[in-house]
């Protein structure tokens, strides 16, 4: 059993992430370039599942929800913890090294939309300290690498940054192309979370962390999500989401 491996008790219904107090460096094989998937990790995971499955006896428990902490409140299994599960899934991993992993956003809001996540568990921006500076900088470098290897990097603009108040737990850096051409972009909150100051540029966050040892989010950031819809290219106000999507076609033809 290695740090970061997953243990599925009862038919994948209750994923557990094994963590150690001291994460020995180099526990994850590093590679500088994005790759398809890690076959060795998949093997290891299968082994872990097999071992656990063998220990199970005949009495198969029923997947019925009771009022316990398993699927209520904000514990494991809650939707807000979904990134922790996704980042461990080799099928979702687009790149990984000893410090971070990159996955595709499950509901991409543009033609290209990745998330860079540290292996180290950092619940939110509030938990960031000066000692995370190197990690944050590395996340930014990996984000830049993702853009470099994108086939449309020359024709599309990209931004990399953090949501001021993310819905999902575990610090994650968005790498998103600026076409916003996606059926998953559906409402004002989606739009404003990437096109207003709700979106904190990676570089700005790093500078804040370096200067203050903390990241502070302006109060009232959540109000930014309610701003009128405005085109991020020509600054034109657009009345509705469908009209905005139609408008974007003029800036980003297929």
Rounded to an integer, what distance in angstroms lies between the CA atom of residue 55 and that of residue 9? 10
- The distance of closest approach from Cβ of residue 168 to DNA in the complex, given in angstroms and rounded to an integer, is 5
Binders of DNA in range 223-242 (CB under 7 A) = 229, 239-242
Nearest C-alpha neighbor of 127 from the set 214, 202, 208, 201: 214
How far apart are CB 134 and DNA at their closest, in Å? 27
107 touches DNA by CB under 7 A: yes
Residue choice 2, 129, 186, 218 for contact with DNA (CB under 7 A): 186
Instruction: Give 30-81 as a DSSP string.
Output: --SS--S--HHHHHHHHHHHHHHHHH--S-PPP----SSTTSSTTSTTSGGG
Residue closer to DNA (CB basis): 1 or 13: 13
For residue 78, indicate whether it is catalytic.
Answer: no
Binders of DNA among residues 192 to 211 (CB under 7 A) are: 193
User: Per CB under 7 A, which region of 4-12, 25-33, 36-44, 183-191 contacts DNA?
Assistant: 183-191
- Contact between 79 and DNA by CB under 7 A: the answer reads yes
Residue with token string 């993702």:
146
Q: How far is CA 149 from the centre of its chain?
A: 19
- Out of 172, 174, 232, 247, the active site residue is 172
CB of 235 to DNA, least distance (A): 18
Closest CA to 164 of 186, 134, 192: 192
């Amino acid at each position: 059993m290695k740090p970061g491996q997953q243990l599925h008790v009862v038919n994948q219904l209750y994923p557990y992430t094994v963590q150690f107090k001291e994460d020995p460096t180099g526990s994850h094989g590093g590679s500088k370039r994005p790759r398809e998937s890690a076959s060795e990790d998949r093997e290891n995971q299968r082994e872990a599942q097999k071992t656990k499955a063998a220990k199970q006896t005949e009495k198969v428990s029923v997947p019925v929800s009771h009022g316990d902490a398993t699927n209520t409140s904000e514990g494991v299994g809650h939707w807000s913890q979904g990134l922790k599960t996704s980042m461990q899934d080799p099928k979702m991993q687009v790149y990984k090294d000893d410090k971070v992993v990159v996955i595709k956003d499950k509901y991409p809001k543009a033609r290209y939309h990745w998330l860079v996540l540290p292996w180290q568990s950092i619940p939110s921006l509030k938990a960031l300290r000066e000692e995370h500076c190197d990690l944050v900088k590395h996340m930014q470098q990996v984000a830049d690498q993702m853009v470099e290897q994108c086939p449309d990097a020359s024709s599309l603009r990209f931004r990399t940054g953090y949501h001021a108040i993310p819905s999902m737990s575990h610090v994650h850096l968005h790498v998103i192309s600026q076409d916003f051409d996606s059926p998953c972009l559906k409402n004002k909150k989606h739009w404003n979370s990437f096109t207003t100051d709700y979106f904190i540029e990676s570089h700005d966050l790093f500078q804040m962390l370096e200067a203050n040892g903390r990241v502070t989010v302006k109060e009232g950031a959540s109000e930014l999500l309610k701003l009128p819809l405005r085109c991020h290219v020509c600054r034109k106000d657009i009345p509705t989401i469908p009209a905005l999507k139609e408008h974007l076609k003029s800036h980003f033809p297929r």
